[in-house]
Amino acid sequence: MKLWFKLQFWVTIIALVYVFFIFNDGYVGKLFMEVLFGFLGEWIKGLFQGFLDAIVDSALHQ
């Protein structure tokens, strides 16, 4: 599971950098960055929620 998160993380970073250089200027770039930060926010929230769930889970099973 952890490996999947690492893989997903690096693929995401590489894709972001690549796309950022493509859409670096103009309206499309600004629009894309808004969408991107929205997506990243959701992704980080999801990761954080999973992390909290894991902590609660391990606390309950002790």
Cα separation of the two ends of the chain: 22
Distance CA 8, CA 6 (A): 5
What 11-14 contacts at long range (C-beta under 8 Å, 24+ apart), as own/partner pairs, is 12/43
Q: Which residue type does 59 have?
A: A
Q: Is residue 28 pLDDT above 80, yes or no?
A: no
Give the separation between CA 31 and CA 35, rounded to whole angstroms: 6
Q: Is the pLDDT of residue 17 over 80?
A: no
State how far the Cα of 8 lies from the Cα of 37, in Å rounded to an integer: 17
pLDDT, residue 36, reads: 79
Q: What is the pLDDT of residue 29?
A: 67
- Give the domain ranges of the chain: 26-62
43 vs 26, residue with greater confidence: 43
11 pLDDT more than 80: yes
